[in-house]
Structure 1
């Protein structure tokens, strides 16, 4: 064997450490063989989702069906050998095993025969989805109770009568010992676990929908996931960190969509004090502009609508006051024009914006002192103090924010794909724009995104000195800028026209001008420049975004820049369905290439279980590879190659006598 030149003396310390794990030539050789085998397996399937916005039922269903991947596997495996109804029933069982079993047992006359047939089919599906993994990885994914049995079934192909009898005996015993239900549930969960290797969330778990806390619980239990934070996630992070403007925004959005479940039931935050105050302060105010957006799935009676609208206005006024206070502390943000309470002529009922005067829809502000409009009343101060305490001390919210910090960042690079939620600030010439992150600190591109993430994390660190306390306080305030600041990479618009939409009828004031990124992201040169900035290597590199819904009904294409940029926010949120014409995009990246999946609205989990309905999805092939990608083509493959090279150097060190083989301190038990 020809060895390349190694600098053994230079690497001596590292080789000694490596030799502790691989003390003999046999150990090192075996590991090289193992790693080479892994490198030649097909790459695992990656699943990309964005802008879930609390729509937990649709989210959970898309996770369970892997954006149609399980259905595709079932169709490929059983083709014309099963009727379409049988394949649909099998898919539903895989998605919802416990619930579907309960229905089957009520309706099926010969349950033992059904068990036999179904277990055989499930084993075939499980064998197929596990084929791209090592036996070791599959074994780790198996439930303890059935690990041995599933391994035997997966690796025994019934090619002869003896094998057929062996497999049949295992399945018959599972049924006769009354473990069939438990086994079916276990193997269905294994299929769901193995069909997706890595889940990527491109931001905005929170707001609008009713179950962001359920989405977070689902993610916490998921095997492998990461998230690039969205503006709505950062808003909730700010609320937990103690930014009162973020707290008001979170409550305002919940009231606007009449979805209080996440706040009240999910995180145990009581809004009684706010409700009592609102009913009193706005008793004679119709609050028409604050009426909630109610869906058919979430109807409200007139009394509830009125109370919600009053609470909505009350928290909005507090929000505008607190936002103005924070903005006044940070002139470097250049957001003084957003202190709109100071621009109102309370006697005339008008407001001046950019030198132009507009009539107000309503000028009923019983809690505002025109001489000091940013000042909270004593009652408002008491409410904010209570809400602040509730958000910052919620144990459930703490756990979810910690998960976002543990699994999240402002951007991620994964297998030649650059992931971030919204944008990279650009100049009108298509160059990277410098943004003042902190007073005197201007950054752009990759460094801006990295340091923004570090600033976010500093809001949750315990300061050790006065400088650290100042850093933390600034970071907590900065959540507001990330939410609505003009150069925020999570927002990137000239303003957030919340106040204008509530109080000014003239729609010219409602316009929010997007940053240059959004008009230039279809330019391949600009996209290449951004990819170069982040060090994403060729070939077949991409940017994947969410944030801005793709308006399919208007003919907008989610694939941009000649296939180099993909936008997968198609509107998971029900509030966007009319606007976008669909109910979300998801993206699947498997060993053969990229598939973009366009989803129709999800009816309900009950429909999926009882009638076998699935999300109607349309798959669009974005990019297919000339050859099937293997693990060696991925980031993990590069890590494996480094490990293999290091082990080869260790082999050389042993065989050249530079290091001596030695026995394991704790030899493996036989």
Structure 2
């Protein structure tokens, strides 16, 4: 890259890199467990997890009232809704447009002050890049410059570009307030609009993803895992957003619906849960979902138990339920105890060969897989998950992962024995990531080890993304005894309260506990029961986004996100999101409660970050090239 630079160009670039290295690091936002709740997630992004209002307050101090600050926050968060809210925004008046542009220019100058001009330029919309740069970097202390700036604004308004320009400024401010976004797992499932979340993430300038167990389900399905596909479709049916998946990704569900309607009847155990998506659902649509729910569950149990049978190394033989049922008496023996089965729907099961699919079931499953794997939008989203995602990430000396570090009861790393090899600690994460990426290379191979392992990653006892002894889906449908529904958690969830264990995990990833923290998603923090998101004496933060309404009765809040700026960490507590229209109608914003939890005595500079390491490498390469250039000059 540097071979074509002149001596002076190398010197200039070195000066530029040195300047960048000594700027404060940008603000990072960590959020997890979004679960298809696009509107709530979108609000957190648009308000920068409460950071936008804070920046407005810092910038305008006493010059704006609390109400005016709220209005400006909403304007920047939802600029496209300005015209629909005349009670808040007098958008037709040129004086309002001029005043708003000047306020936004003042704010964008304030929030961009710790960035280089080149970085700010990259975050500006191309169509207004030159104009915004001129307006924010023109020194208005000089009369001529002030007149020049005012003329530009006046001409913008004269050309009726005021409103488009305001929207462009608002978007630019949001991208400058939050420099980098970390998604610590679980974009998919339970909510109806995961595809909108994915489209939003793809458009973000700086984002990474640590795969969650629900993300892996969708990736596994696209790579050919029938068990993963059936699980995600069953969950979608249970939470009543199967129709939304059909519309968003163009999945052909007709063979499934025809088969289910012909084969199954009403069944109270398979009534879908009420959800946001179900509010507008016709009763006839809800009734057919009960039948579809049964069809998917039975095919799933057959396919999963075929997989368990061909993968004895997974050590899951006790979950071969269909082979343990006494079909004439409708009972099953589990862990030495007999249970009566209720609400059964076993009409497609042959007791002599219970794992075999019928001809119709095989046709339905093949049709679903073909449609799922041939969806262009699905391919785009899964490719993005592969490109930006990983099982874990070390970024700016912090360790990010979604689920857990599997631990034995003794507190040692739990060893997964497979194919005469043993994997534990960091190498266990690496083992799963290797096979996930290997499976992605041949999505039409449905029963290879790597593809089967993705399903195991969803529900296996040694999976870093599951973190439980087993999944009790079968028991929840067919056994009324609640003791069989319990899913025993891995010892990690107790041990992560220990600073010593957190130190052990950080050191396993070659990180220094004095400087590094673990950022963990996956488990809702039950605030109502007194649980804290801060564990391990401050070494681990649990930031389950809590956006899924299914969890909010347990948590009492809408979860947590985490901010990290050059001064340290701030924990952000979110409240349930009522909808953008309601906020705009009232002019109020949801208060995001911030708590400083890890403040440093000095500002962290870019040279101490992951990006800084890359810049230092560029700098060293330039110095080497410059020395060669100088030596050649001496010889000549």
Q: Same fold by TM (over 0.5)?
A: yes
* Alpha-carbon offset, residue 653 of structure 1: 4.1
Assess, with a 3 A threshold, how the Cα gap between structure 1 residues 627 and 109 changes in structure 2: closer, same or farther.
Answer: closer
Distance 1:525 1:192 in 2: 39
Equivalent of 2:563 in 572, 581, 588: 588
Give the conservation status (yes or no) of the 8 Å contact 2:558–2:574.
Answer: yes
Q: Which stretch shows the higher mean deviation, 614-623 or 554-563?
A: 614-623
What residue in structure 1 maps to residue 326 of structure 2? 345
Deviations 1:93-131 (A, max 9, x none): 111112114534997387111011100100011111211
User: Is 1:426 paired with 2:401?
Assistant: no
Q: Does 1:556 align with 2:539?
A: no
Alpha-carbon distance, 1:568 to partner: 0.3
Correspondence list, 1:114-513, <5 A: 114-283=96-265, 286-295=266-275, 298-299=278-279, 300-436=281-417, 438-462=418-442, 473-513=448-488
Q: SS at the partner of 2:61?
A: helix
Question: What is the Cα deviation at residue 226 of structure 1?
Answer: 0.6
CA distance in structure 1 between the partners assigned to 2:615 and 2:199 by the alignment: 32
> CA 1:620–1:75 in structure 2 vs 1: closer, same or farther (change >3 Å)?
same
Question: Which contiguous aligned blocks of 4+ residues in structure 1 show a shift greater than 6 angstroms?
Answer: 469-472
Task: Tell me the distance in 2 between the aligned counterparts of 1:281 and 1:471.
Answer: 26
Check conservation: 1:55, 1:209, Cα contact below 8 A: yes
User: In the comparison of the two structures, how many residue pairs are matched?
Assistant: 635
C-alpha offsets along residues 583-608 of structure 1, whole Å, 9 cap, x if unaligned? Answer: 12111111111111110111112223
Contact kept? 2:212, 2:465, Cα under 8 Å: yes
Query: Following TM superposition, by how much is the alpha carbon of 1:311 offset from its aligned partner in structure 2, in angstroms?
Result: 1.1
CA distance in 1 between counterparts of 2:243 and 2:31 reads 23
CA RMSD of aligned residues (A): 2.1
Contact 2:31 2:545 (C-alpha < 8 Å) held by counterparts: no
TM-superposition CA deviations, 1:362-403 (whole Å, max 9, x none): 234111111111111122111111111111111111110000
Choose from 76, 91, 106 the match for 2:58. Answer: 76
SS of corresponding position for 2:448 = helix
How far 1:50 moved relative to its partner?
A: 0.2
In structure 1, how many angstroms separate the alpha carbons of the residues matched to 2:87 and 2:162? 12
Mapped partners of 1:215, 1:194: distance in 2: 20
Q: Flag structure 1 segments of 5+ consecutive residues without an equivalent.
A: 1-16, 464-468, 663-670
Distance 1:538 1:512, change over 3 A: closer
Instruction: State how far apart, in whole Å, the 2-side matches of 1:54 and 1:131 are.
Output: 35
Contact 2:507 2:513 in 1 (8 A): no
| 1:69-108 mapped onto 2 (5 Å cutoff) | 69-104=51-86, 108=90
Are 1:22 and 2:2 an aligned pair?
A: no
Contact (CA 8 Å) 1:211, 1:261: kept in 2 or not? no
Are 2:21 and 1:46 equivalent residues in the alignment? no
The CA deviation string for residues 467-517 of structure 1, in whole angstroms up to 9 with x for no partner, is xx9898211111211111111111021110111111111011011111111
Q: TM-score, normalised by structure 1?
A: 0.91
* Aligned twin of 1:574: 549
Structure 2: unaligned runs, 5 residues or longer: none
The more displaced of 211-220 and 256-265 is 256-265
Distance in 1, Cα, partners of 2:470 & 2:419:
21
TM-score with structure 2 setting the length: 0.96
- Once residues 257 and 624 of structure 2 are traced to their aligned partners in structure 1, the CA distance between those partners, rounded to angstroms, is 70
Do the aligned partners of 2:83 and 2:89 also contact (CA within 8 Å) in 1? no
| Alpha-carbon contact 1:100-1:610 (below 8 Å) kept | no
Distance 1:29 1:148 in 2: 27
**Cα offset, 1:158, TM superposition:** 2.7
